[in-house]
Amino acid sequence: MAKTDEPTALVPADDHDLLVPGLATDNPAAKRLMKALTRATPKKIIKSRPGPGGMRFAYVHWSWIVQRLNEVFGPTWGREVTSIDRIPLPELPPRHDRDRATAERRLRPYLGP
């Protein structure tokens, strides 16, 4: 992924040399990143669905997470799926898939050349 000089909503172009500055909390750019990443998720974004045993599961759609990461990191992040496990869930209602795929994902900030 190529480095860009375009500013993001939170990190001006002149701070791009820092990108993700090791999350040193005394660094102003790192403080802005941490503040943006730890903002509360708006209640209207949180959805729920039925789960096994009458439970309800809360979730956030992946596109909202991508939008948040784009706001914070601009084009300087990527993702990779490191593993996928299929877990049979026979108690799910018929409108849901009978298997649930769980994926471990890793955020890869661009740290320069």
Give 14-42 pLDDT, tens digit per residue.
444 444 445 556 777 777 878 888 888 89
Give 83-94 pLDDT, tens digit per residue.
777 666 666 555
Provide the residue type at 21 as one letter.
P
Which has the closest alpha carbon to 29: 76, 63, 66? 76
Distances (CA, A) of 103 to 23, 60, 63, 106, 109: 25, 15, 16, 10, 19
Structure tokens at 50: 């039925």
Contacts for 87-91: CB closer than 8 Å, 24+ residues apart: 89/52, 91/52, 91/53
For residues 1 and 10, what is the distance between their CA atoms, to the nearest angstrom?
A: 20
Q: What is the pTM of this model?
A: 0.49
Which residue ranges make up each domain of the chain?
60-113
